[in-house]
Amino acid sequence: MATEVQVPVLGESVTEATVGAWLKKPGDAVAVDEPIASLETDKVAVDVPSPVAGVMGQHMVSEGDTVNVGAVIAIVEEGATAAAKPAAAAAPAAAASAPAPAAAAAPAAAVEEGGAVTLSPAVRRLVLEHGLDPSRIKGTGKDGRLTKDDVMAAVAAGTAKADAAAAAPAAAAVASGPQRAEERVKMTRLRQTVAKRLKSAQETAALLTTFNDVDMSAVIEARARYKDLFEKKHGVRLGFMGFFTKAVCMALRDVPAVNAQIEGDEIVYHNYADISVAVSAPNGLVVPVIRNAEEMSVAEIEKTIGDFGKRAKEGALTMEDMKGGTFTISNGGVFGSLMSTPIINPPQSAVLGLHRIEDRPVVRNGQVVVRPMMYLALSYDHRLIDGREAVTFLVAIKNAIEDPTRLLIDL
């Protein structure tokens, strides 16, 4: 019995998606609720589960196609088995009379034909570029799938190299002279949406960025002193984002315009702080939301961010995780950024950029001393937020981070 697989409801106001990757090929066995395809929406990747157990039938659409909610994208043969397909394919394989060593030496082809390892297009590209055997890499993604981080970890460790025979064609190509290959890859729906929103922010808002720097000595000392006890009690590492998120919530309360937004000819002020935090995902940065962060402890904030980071790598963030947000924190420092001018995330009116910590000479009590310093950048919509308010906001964060006791006594 053939069962149609339809595009599920993707979230409020989301009516279409792009087929990012097929996770099952025709003839593959599938279990109930096992993901068979990955769809890319404007914000997140969504897996499409099989409604029944059986064998994957025909793909009705191709990777890269745009599909609407409710559209039929595949057929699953309910109750069938995949055992007959490999046997039926054995004769053509033998007729091809390809040498066995050559077949074994092509890990990417083995993945495609045998279905032993399911690779997304981005992961497949990395595997081929670095000459790796994906079957030798342990996947940490959902259902054991390989992620880009898994591949890069294998590259760094020098493991999972493909057999020498597989690398021979690449080596011969290098020896023949410099390569000037080009590759065209269609932008993902997420990247297209990010591009449109960022360009719209530049065209609509009166963007301005103001800077300050902050001495991280006190926070670093507090973190070093309490990180072991903190992790033992709360089961999560004590990072810097907990301190900054608490400081941001206090500053937003003191300067409410930074937490507001423009709607038509009205200004909407929020009496809550839903903080969007940028985290890295396989398809790029995503921005899930910490809701009511003003009511949370540092431990609760760290747990929430840690959960977001884990689910982002697994591609398990939902539309609800990304919805809303009144203010954004973007930490470019984890990638080594010294200074930047972040762009606001509409309809929000401001974004705080954090950067790397580095030792710099500063003057304290008339003496030149070395301190771990970080540049802070606040980009804001000047239509709503005046320069005085922006500077006051940044100074409030600076004061709270340089004297974390302020976070405890609400000062």
Buried b (16+ CB within 10 A) or exposed e, 356-366: bbeeeeeeeee
Cα–Cα nearest to 17, from 59, 73, 65, 51: 65
Cα–Cα nearest to 109, from 173, 159, 183, 162: 162
Which CA distances in Å does 120 have to 10, 63, 86? Answer: 20, 11, 23
Q: HSE-up of 327 (CA within 13 Å, CB side)?
A: 34
Indicate if 386 belongs to the active site: yes
Cis peptide before 99 (omega within 30 of 0): no
φ, ψ dihedrals at 343, nearest 5°: -105, 135
**Are the C-beta atoms of residues 291 and 301 closer than 8 Å to each other?**
no
Alpha-carbon distance of 205 to 385, in angstroms, equals 11
Indicate if 234 belongs to the active site: no
Task: Show the tokens assigned to 172.
Answer: 């011969």
CA 119 centroid distance within chain: 17
Q: HSE-up of 254 (CA within 13 Å, CB side)?
A: 19
Q: Which of 381, 386, 403, 410 is catalytic?
A: 386
Alpha-carbon distance of 39 to 23, in angstroms, equals 11
Alpha-carbon distance of 277 to 298, in angstroms, equals 15
Cα–Cα nearest to 378, from 352, 347, 340: 352
In the chain, the largest separation of any two C-alpha atoms, in whole Å, equals 85
Q: Which of 234, 382, 403, 410 is catalytic?
A: 382
CA 410 centroid distance within chain: 33
Which positions are annotated as active-site residues? 382, 386
